[in-house]
Amino acid sequence: MDSRVIRQKFLDFFKSRKHVQINPARLVSDDQTTLFTSSGMQQLIPYLMGKTHPEGIRLVNSQACFRAEDIEGVGDNRHTTFFEMLGNWSLGDYFKKEQIWWVYEFLTNVLGLDPNRLHVTVFEGDNLIPKDEETFSIWKDFGVPEDRIYFYGVKENWWSRSGSPDQMPVGEIGGTDSEIFFEFPQVEHDERFGEKCHPHCNCGRFMEIGNSVFIEYKKTGDSEFEKLPQKNVDFGGGLERLTAATNDNPDIFQTDLHKPITDAIVQVIGNPYEDEEEKKLMRIIADHLKASVFLIMDGVIPSNKLHGYVLRRLLRRAAIKMRNLSGRLDVSSFVSMIRIIRTQYNEIFEIDWEEGLPRVNKVITEELEKFQKTLDKGLKEIEKISEIDGKIAFDLYQTFGFPYEVTEELFRQKGQDIDKEQFKKEFEKHQELSRTASAGMFKGGLAGHSETEIKYHTVTHLLHQALRDVLGPEVFQKGSNINTERLRFDFSYDRKMTEEEIKKVEDLVNEKIEEDLVVERKFMSVKEAQKMNAIGLFGGKYDEEVSIYVIGSNHIYDVNAKDQRERSGYYSAEFCGGPHVEHTNVIGGIKITKEEAVSSGVRRIYAELV
Ligand code: SER
């Protein structure tokens, strides 16, 4: 059975059980807190929370998904950044019993999977949410023997867009889940992954092929949950993996969804798909190129920020891996692979390939040709440098986008070893920076984004600056935590604040709120941000674009003021991924309710909206 048949059978199966097929969401997320659609449920959040869906309470679809956070994980038999998720949902209609039975029936009767090779997992419970005995009994009643039902904790059997319960922002929904794994006995357990094999072992013998989430909770406080008004089901099954299981081949890159691409790579490099190291590179190329095609079809173009940055990374990684495999970067080979991808997905999603394909070819060709020049330029630079250390390797990477692995390979040829640790240190500094810039945006919707939380978020910026104004520039944010009731802000300062200082800070924040300052997001190079004295930056020299929230650039400040910030006409500039209010007076006002010590040199403030 190929993927087309499996996709159709899934949709038909649930349609015959009164589900309505809904259109997939765009791959580039419309939701402001995430960059991409990474699961089918993302477009359904308001309906899972109780809003009435126009198509009813039983829904089904096939959703193209992209998970940027998995880029580094691609290369084994089952991980990709781009995949198709088959999904069905109950919005307050049926629950565990029907769901488990239908999924089981679909897998065993429709796809014909051997029930003896199915293993399932169930939530074991923690201090907040009880053990899911009900799901355990249902699986058992359907004939799954107890020794193939496994209990796992929150890390494995709790699902929300932002991960485990402690990572969820207040307002986020989630629930326990039950995953289904298919066992490939032809894959020998690899003891490097642990003594005993089990569904979550990473050796590749087990493959997760489906996940039913029972969404019935909403986070309401630091460690508080309340039940949603309705009990929902959110199922997702990766089409690539279901196809691999149905065809009893543990390598998803050998299903019809990837094999034509890996075959094309084999043609280009002239080596078979055999050697484990080479297979890894081929899988990365196949995945990254396919993901790039879909992102460009959805309007993304390579750049140094957000979606464009991810796309650029995918293309560069694919190009480098191709260069590693074949010794050169042949752009035309990518163009022929793009044609293959188009054929694979013809008439699957509502994609206008006639319009899009020439655009995809152009974007990818231009980007790769530019990258080829980057490589050439970097190579010339390297020629000039007699001794290359990790710091220089990082500068080459940062300035020319010159990949470390190429630098390393060239010097190995020259008989020189680069200090990888030093490179790694520089790299980590840089990663820290990107993480802060895009906090929450590369994963599922992380930051809480109710109106109140957004207000509190802007207040933390004002508070941060006001504390620095009142107490001095040694004040620096150490942490913050927001819920719908209050904000908590930790900062470096070595003594208790006086009543008077607290009052001053509070007044200053309220003054800035009253002044109705505009809050703007600006993208600029780190260099420019440093010039602005933006808070939250790390040292180093970077050309990469970062996101800075500037508060108050509409305000006319005293041109004679001593403070550089005030002369340049803004109140606060801080490195941040947002979201924020658009202008400050919507906040209303704040009250500092408490000031206390956290640890030596770190103080904590609680504040509430008034
Ligand atoms: N949302 C769940 C997942 O991504 C099930 O669709 O696994």
SS (H, E, C) 288-301: HHHHHHHHHHCCCC
Using the mean position of ligand 1's atoms as its centre, give its distance from the Cα of residue 254 in Å.
24
Q: What percent of the chain has pLDDT over 70?
A: 89
Using the mean position of ligand 1's atoms as its centre, give its distance from the Cα of residue 122 in Å.
15
Q: Are residues 19 and 140 in the same domain?
A: yes
Q: What percent of the chain has pLDDT over 90?
A: 60
Three-state secondary-structure class, residue 267:
helix
Whether the per-residue pLDDT at 535 is higher than 90: the answer is no
Contact indicator for 48, 461 with CB cutoff of 8 Å: no
Q: Are residues 182 and 241 in the same domain?
A: yes
- Quick one: the chain helix, strand, coil %, rounded to 5? 45, 20, 35
The answer as to whether 558 is a domain residue is: yes
The answer as to whether 138 is a domain residue is: yes
Using the mean position of ligand 1's atoms as its centre, give its distance from the Cα of residue 203 in Å.
22
Q: Are residues 204 and 101 in the same domain?
A: yes
The answer as to whether 260 is a domain residue is: no
Which atom of ligand 1 is closest in space to residue 212's alpha carbon? 5
Q: What is the dihedral of CA 110, 115, 119, 120, to 10 degrees?
A: 60
Using the mean position of ligand 1's atoms as its centre, give its distance from the Cα of residue 445 in Å.
14
User: In terms of residue numbers, what domain contains 561?
Assistant: 451-609
- Which of 236, 235, 237, 234 has its CA nearest to residue 49? 234
The answer as to whether 329 is a domain residue is: yes
Q: Are residues 311 and 399 in the same domain?
A: no
Model confidence band, residue 607 (pLDDT cutoffs 50, 70, 90) = very high
Q: Give the chain's mean pLDDT.
A: 87
- Tell me what pLDDT residue 434 has: 47
**Residues 6 or more apart from 233 whose CB is under 8 A from it?**
88, 89, 90, 94, 95, 96, 99, 212, 213, 214, 215
The answer as to whether 446 is a domain residue is: no
Strands 82-91 and 149-152: unpaired
Q: Are residues 46 and 185 in the same domain?
A: yes
Phi, psi of 140 (to 5 degrees): -65, -45
Q: In testing the pocket of ligand 1, which one of 85, 208, 235 has its CB within 8 Å of the most ligand atoms?
A: 85
Using the mean position of ligand 1's atoms as its centre, give its distance from the Cα of residue 171 in Å.
18
Whether the per-residue pLDDT at 438 is higher than 50: the answer is no
Q: Are residues 35 and 181 in the same domain?
A: yes
What are 298-344's pLDDT values in tens digits?
Answer: 999 998 777 888 899 899 889 988 988 988 888 999 999 999 999 99
Which atom of ligand 1 is closest in space to residue 87's alpha carbon? 6
Strands 477-482 and 224-238: unpaired
Whether the per-residue pLDDT at 150 is higher than 80: the answer is yes
Query: Where is average pLDDT lowest: 238-247, 538-547, 593-602?
Result: 538-547
**213 CB near ligand 1 (under 6 Å):** yes
Q: What number of CA atoms fall less than 13 Å from residue 318's CA on the CB side?
A: 31
**Residues 6 or more apart from 334 whose CB is under 8 A from it?**
289, 318, 319, 322, 364, 365, 368
- Tell me what pLDDT residue 453 has: 83
Q: Are residues 403 and 372 in the same domain?
A: no
**Residues 6 or more apart from 298 whose CB is under 8 A from it?**
26, 27, 28
Domain count within the chain: 4
Q: Are residues 377 and 399 in the same domain?
A: no
- Tell me what pLDDT residue 555 has: 58
**234 CB near ligand 1 (under 6 Å):** yes
Q: What is the dihedral of CA 271, 273, 278, 280, to 10 degrees?
A: 160
Q: Are residues 138 and 48 in the same domain?
A: yes
**121 CB near ligand 1 (under 6 Å):** no
Which atom of ligand 1 is closest in space to residue 213's alpha carbon? 5
- Tell me what pLDDT residue 360 has: 96
Contact indicator for 554, 518 with CB cutoff of 8 Å: yes
The predicted model scores a pTM of 0.71
Phi-psi region of 229 (alpha: psi -120 to 50; beta: other; left: phi over 0): alpha
- Which of 462, 454, 448 has its CA nearest to residue 590? 462
Q: Which residue has the CA at smallest separation from atom 4 of ligand 1?
A: 39
Whether the per-residue pLDDT at 31 is higher than 70: the answer is no
**Residues 6 or more apart from 607 whose CB is under 8 A from it?**
459, 463, 486, 487, 489, 506, 590, 591, 592, 593
Whether the per-residue pLDDT at 568 is higher than 70: the answer is no
Mean pLDDT of 364-393: 81
Distance CA(419)–CA(423), nearest Å, equals 7
Rg of the chain taking only CA atoms, in angstroms: 26
Mean pLDDT of 540-548: 59
Q: Are residues 20 and 168 in the same domain?
A: yes
What are 5-19's pLDDT values in tens digits?
Answer: 999 999 999 999 999
Whether the per-residue pLDDT at 415 is higher than 80: the answer is no
The answer as to whether 442 is a domain residue is: no
The answer as to whether 247 is a domain residue is: yes
Whether the per-residue pLDDT at 253 is higher than 60: the answer is yes
Burial of 26 by CB count in 10 Å (0-12 exposed, 13-18 middle, 19+ buried)? middle
Whether the per-residue pLDDT at 447 is higher than 50: the answer is no
Q: What is the dihedral of CA 434, 435, 437, 438, to 10 degrees?
A: 110
Q: Which residue has the CA at smallest separation from atom 5 of ligand 1?
A: 236
Which atom of ligand 1 is closest in space to residue 85's alpha carbon? 6
Neighbour count for residue 50 (Cβ, 10 Å): 13
Contact indicator for 246, 6 with CB cutoff of 8 Å: yes
Q: What number of CA atoms fall less than 13 Å from residue 175's CA on the CB side?
A: 26
One-letter amino acid identity for 198? Answer: H
**Residues 6 or more apart from 443 whose CB is under 8 A from it?**
34, 38, 69, 161, 162, 163
**Residues 6 or more apart from 498 whose CB is under 8 A from it?**
none
User: Which CATH number belongs to the domain containing residue 204 in this structure?
Assistant: 3.30.930.10
For residues 374 and 539, the model is more confident at 374
- Tell me what pLDDT residue 440 has: 38
Model confidence band, residue 166 (pLDDT cutoffs 50, 70, 90) = confident
Which atom of ligand 1 is closest in space to residue 65's alpha carbon? 4
Q: Are residues 506 and 567 in the same domain?
A: yes
- Tell me what pLDDT residue 545 has: 65
Q: Are residues 59 and 206 in the same domain?
A: yes
Is the peptide bond prior to 579 cis by the omega test (within 30 degrees of 0)? yes
Using the mean position of ligand 1's atoms as its centre, give its distance from the Cα of residue 39 in Å.
6
Using the mean position of ligand 1's atoms as its centre, give its distance from the Cα of residue 31 in Å.
17
The answer as to whether 601 is a domain residue is: yes
